[in-house]
């Protein structure tokens, strides 16, 4: 166990380093530079000499590996670079926007976990009855519906029917909690229900597997209440793959928040990424990807470790 944990943890730094090299290489492939972006249509007016001077000023005349090392050195000092578009430090922007995305993720998870597990458990214990069929149809359907379509409908339909739309300028959670919740709850609920479909499916199949086991039959035979058997004996043992799915959904919900923030005008980190992508703001894209890529790698590590920690049978693999 100890060895496994150490090995997995030691693998993280090289993986993050690999990610930084990968991202730098990818950004080199983009045919755009800070000069092109800043100058825009003025480019033709710039003399070759002035351009050279600008290239030297921004360090673009240096070879790739030198620029990469410089970027890496900055990162180690906690500096994620500056936006080409606004010249503001990326760190500051992400710091300001992170609470919004984080609130969205927490809210989504709070709604997602009970919904997914609930549907899965009900589906499993009412196997092949109308409830099961209904819920299974619902989950299959939800896996196929594009979430951005649901977001759109959730804005358009209330507007058409009741002339209702959530209040527009975003309000901070601490300034006006009710208004903030009004703005957050619909996108969070849609993301939660859409991702709960997969969780429900996994929970259902795991529960069916566990409900067949001898110890569940024993528990039933010795006269334990149905609820105790399901919750204490069956569900706890069905949780392993469920936890993996939940972990993966956190990453998936971040991707969902990129779209939700865009549609619902929430000033989170997802909007920041999309805005930088549309404006070719490469330093932001590169640093954003490194930051959240590292988060995804760590998330994967936590999932793997919790897996081996919860199931003693796979400890030394």
Partner 1 sequence: MTQAAASPEVELETTIVSRVGLWRRIAGAARKHPVGVIALILVVIVLFLAAFGGAISDDPNEITLDILQKPSDEHWFGTDGLGRDYFARVISGARASMSLALSAMLIGGAAALMIGMVSAYARGFVDLLGQRLVDMLLAFPGLILLLLMAQVVGRGWEAMAVGLGFLYAVDLTRIVRSNTLATLANPYVESARVVGASPPRILIRHVLPNMGPPALIYMTALIGGAILAEGALSFLGLGIAPPTPSWGRMLADGRTLWREWHLSVFPGVAMTVAVLGFNLLGDTLRDVFDPRLRGS
At closest approach, how far in Å is the CB of 270 from partner 1? 9
In the complex with partner 1, the residue whose CB is nearer, 46 or 293, is: 293
Residue with tokens 């920041």: 272
Q: Which residues pair with 89 in a beta bridge?
A: 82
Could you tell me the CA-to-CA distances from 195 to 145, 240, 267 in Å, in that order? 11, 18, 22
Among 143, 173, 231, 314, binds partner 1 (CB under 8 A): 143
Check binding of 297 to partner 1 (CB under 8 A). Answer: yes
Q: Which tokens in the block code for residue 288?
A: 């954003």
84-106: b (≥16 Cβ within 10 Å) or e: beeeebbeebbeebeebbebbbe
At closest approach, how far in Å is the CB of 26 from partner 1? 5
Check binding of 245 to partner 1 (CB under 8 A). Answer: no
Q: Which tokens in the block code for residue 130?
A: 């109308």
CA distance 276 to 295: 20
Check binding of 266 to partner 1 (CB under 8 A). Answer: no
Check binding of 159 to partner 1 (CB under 8 A). Answer: yes
With CB under 8 A as the contact rule, which of the stretches 24-32, 73-81, 127-135, 211-219 interacts with partner 1? Answer: 24-32
CA distance 226 to 121: 13
Among 18, 50, 53, 167, binds partner 1 (CB under 8 A): 18
Among 39, 75, 181, 258, binds partner 1 (CB under 8 A): 258
Q: Which tokens in the block code for residue 189?
A: 């609920």
CA distance 56 to 67: 12
How many helices and strands in the chain, by DSSP H and E?
14, 0
Check binding of 64 to partner 1 (CB under 8 A). Answer: no
CA distance 264 to 183: 8
Print the binding letters for residues 193-212 with partner 1: x by CB under 8 A, - otherwise. Answer: --------xx--x--x----
Among 5, 15, 38, 308, binds partner 1 (CB under 8 A): 15
Name the residues that contact partner 1, by CB under 8 A.
Answer: 11, 14-15, 18-19, 22-23, 26-27, 29-30, 140-141, 143-149, 152-153, 155-157, 159-160, 201-202, 205, 208, 251-252, 254-255, 258-259, 262-263, 273-274, 277-278, 280, 282, 285, 289, 292-293, 296-297, 299-300
């Amino acid at each position: 166990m100890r060895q496994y944990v150490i090995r997995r943890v030691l693998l993280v730094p090289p993986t993050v380093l690999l990610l930084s090299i990968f991202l730098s290489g990818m950004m080199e492939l983009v045919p755009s530079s800070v000069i092109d972006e800043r100058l825009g249509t003025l480019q033709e007016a710039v003399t070759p000499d002035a351009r050279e001077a600008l290239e030297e000023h921004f360090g673009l005349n240096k070879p790739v590996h030198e620029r990469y090392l410089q970027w890496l050195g900055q990162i180690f000092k906690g500096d994620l670079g500056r936006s080409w578009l606004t010249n503001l430090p990326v760190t500051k922007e992400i710091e300001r926007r992170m609470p919004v995305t984080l609130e969205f993720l927490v809210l989504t998870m709070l709604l997602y976990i009970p919904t997914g597990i609930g549907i899965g458990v009900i589906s499993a214990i009412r196997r092949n009855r109308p409830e099961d069929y209904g819920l299974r149809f619902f989950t299959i359907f939800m896996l196929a519906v594009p979430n951005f379509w649901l977001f759109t409908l959730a804005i358009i339909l209330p507007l058409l029917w009741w002339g209702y739309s959530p209040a527009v300028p975003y309000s901070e959670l601490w300034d006006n909690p009710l208004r903030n919740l009004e703005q957050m709850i619909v996108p969070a609920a849609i993301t939660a229900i859409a991702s709960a479909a997969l969780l429900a499916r996994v929970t259902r199949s795991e529960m069916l597997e566990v409900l067949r086991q001898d110890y569940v039959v024993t528990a039933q035979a010795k006269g334990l209440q149905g609820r105790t058997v399901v919750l204490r004996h069956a569900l706890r043992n069905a949780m392993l793959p469920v936890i993996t799915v939940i972990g993966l959904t956190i990453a998936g919900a971040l991707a969902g928040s990129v779209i939700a923030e865009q549609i619902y005008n929430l000033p989170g980190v997802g909007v920041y990424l999309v805005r930088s992508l549309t404006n070719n703001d490469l330093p932001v894209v590169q640093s954003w990807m490194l930051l959240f890529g590292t988060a995804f790698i760590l998330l994967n590590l936590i999932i793997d470790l919790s897996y081996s920690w919860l199931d003693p049978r796979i400890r030394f693999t």
